[in-house]
Amino acid sequence: MSNKKKGCNAERELIHLFWNNDWSAIRIAGSGSSHYPSADILASNIKKLISIEVKITKKKNKYFTQKEIDDFRQFSSRFGALPYIAIRFPRTKWYFLKLDQIPKKTQNYAISENLAKKKGIGFDELIKGI
Amino acid sequence: MSNKKKGCNAERELIHLFWNNDWSAIRIAGSGSSHYPSADILASNIKKLISIEVKITKKKNKYFTQKEIDDFRQFSSRFGALPYIAIRFPRTKWYFLKLDQIPKKTQNYAISENLAKKKGIGFDELIKGI
């Protein structure tokens, strides 16, 4: 399966999770190809709107450039949405992290599996805590 | 050009209009195929969020079923978005109508070119009036 297809499936899995838990959620078209700042998912429970970048990785760390973080933050701010990174490592559940929980290492930001487990919250906590 | 392709191009045209006028906008993926209520576009100017169903037609009337209207209204309500139909007839500009401006005729709702011109607002008015 291509990485794009895997990413799409991961996004759909989260979309279903939201709808099954009384949230509404949509996938954003062309989020990887549009030249405007974007995100992968917007989800709402009427009271709150959150924006999500979805990452699945087989590696120990997932890296983000300053531009990726800046664009995502800017997009979220313009939509009045609270930005989260949703990340899943091999054989882990989904972890959700706020942007200010992601440390900068030299040039790039990085989420390690350990960081995700230590600082991230699970889906249930995400939708209950907002 | 297929109808789907034309619809996509029409959505992209509106997306550019929003970004070029200090709004942010996204196209929603799979809005015609997902089994969840959806819309074509979400646009925000930080203060306000609007949801848009985009229609281009070569005919004199564009029809909407009760279910289409209900789903769109429900989706918009769950996202806290103000719903608009964006419609363009041959050789007209874009007109934006609120759902309560669309009359029900027997079973379906209908927007005629005359109605759009009489009740609809243009893009400039849309983004200034919100």
Chain B residues with CB-CB distance to A127 below 8 A: none
Residue from the list A26, A31, A78 with its beta carbon closest to the beta carbon of B46: A78
> Which residue ranges form the domains of chain B, and what is each CATH number?
3-129 (3.40.1350.10)
CA of B60 to nearest chain A CA: how many angstroms apart? 30
Tens-digit pLDDT profile for residues A109-123: 999 999 999 999 999
Tens-digit pLDDT profile for residues A20-61: 999 999 999 986 666 888 899 999 998 899 999 999 999 999
Percent of chain B with pLDDT over 70: 96
Q: Does B29 have pLDDT greater than 70?
A: yes
Q: From CA B88, how far away is CA B90, in angstroms rounded?
A: 7
Tens-digit pLDDT profile for residues B93-121: 999 999 999 999 888 999 999 999 999 99
The yes-or-no answer on residue B31 being catalytic is yes
CA of B111 to nearest chain A CA: how many angstroms apart? 27
